[in-house]
Amino acid sequence: MHTRNSIFISGAAAGIGRATTLLFLEAGWQVGAYDRDTDGLAKLANDVAESARERLITGVLDVTENTSWQDALADFAQHNDGKLNLLFNNAGILYSGAFEAISLEAQQRMIEVNVQGVLAGCYLARPYLEAAAVDGPNTARVINMSSASAIYGQPKLAIYSASKFAVRAITEALELEWADQGIKVMDVMPLFVKTAMVADMQGDSMRRLGVRLTPQMIAATVYRMAHYKGSRIHWYVGRQTKLMALASKISPSWLVRLSNKWISR
């Protein structure tokens, strides 16, 4: 009989997903690490401590394909009595630059991965989360990977920013809608994180603000969120992000716009 908490992580082969996998394994969780990058998953499995390898399940997942989600979730759930305690919708991609300089196909791809991937994950994981929720309060939850880019639309990150606004909206709506089902929904909203995603990023905002967060810092926040029993929905990571979020709430709209204009130039 399965007694451990279980977490399913999309985009687990590198960056934040990898760091989160390692942290939750260290904490004794059953972890499903799924990604399109099979080589990255193999390296991840090889780097896991011998004592934790039996609690790691890896598999292929293309978050833009519904059948891939269905197969991956069913594969992981069979190790956990058909239940899932935590879905971490982490997979995402980023293309940056002037709006007209990024191909239409690349921008549409961001919507497919960052928005439709989260939509499919939430929709198809819900039965497994609902099965876990019957065990008591705070036993089922979703954590979506959003971004500080969802605080205000960012120049040279227009569609990435839009995709994270969508993730924020999904989070807020489902947090209300699923409360009666015992499923908690939250998102994590960091600024720039030291991952391959921002290595070639174009944008004055990153040069002005710097890259101060690490994957391990985000993983630690996700771990705190996994045990949180309060009502907070949006988790801002890092002092800069928290100040930006606070300013957006208390400042007039013209000042928020002016601040973002300064940051991005």
H helices of the chain, in order, are 15-26, 38-47, 66-77, 104-111, 117-133, 158-177, 204-209, 215-227, 239-250, 253-263
Position 241 confidence tier, pLDDT thresholds 50, 70, 90 = low
Position 2 confidence tier, pLDDT thresholds 50, 70, 90 = very low
Stretch 235-262: mean pLDDT: 62
The percentage of the chain sitting over the pLDDT mark of 90, rounded to a whole number, equals 74
Position 105 confidence tier, pLDDT thresholds 50, 70, 90 = very high
- Measured CA to CA, the distance from residue 29 to residue 85 in angstroms comes to 10
- What is the full DSSP assignment across 151-186? TS--TT-HHHHHHHHHHHHHHHHHHHHTGGGT-EEE
Lowest mean pLDDT among 35-49, 198-212, 240-254: 198-212
pLDDT per residue as tens digits for the range 51-75: 999 999 999 999 999 999 999 999 9
Question: Max Cα separation, the chain?
Answer: 57
pLDDT of residue 208: 52
Find residue 7's DSSP bridge partners. Answer: 31, 86
Position 101 confidence tier, pLDDT thresholds 50, 70, 90 = very high
**Environment class of residue 97 by beta-carbon count within 10 Å: exposed (0-12), middle (13-18) or buried (19+)?**
middle
**Cα angle, residue 62 at apex, residues 217 and 95 outer, rounded to 5°:** 60
Stretch 88-104: mean pLDDT: 95
pLDDT of residue 265: 61
Which sign, positive or negative, has the C-alpha torsion 97, 216, 74, 76?
A: positive
**For tokens 């549409």, what's the residue?**
108
Stretch 4-20: mean pLDDT: 96
**For tokens 């401590």, what's the residue?**
49
What does DSSP assign to residue 150?
A: G
Stretch 72-99: mean pLDDT: 96
What is the SS3 assignment for 22? Answer: helix
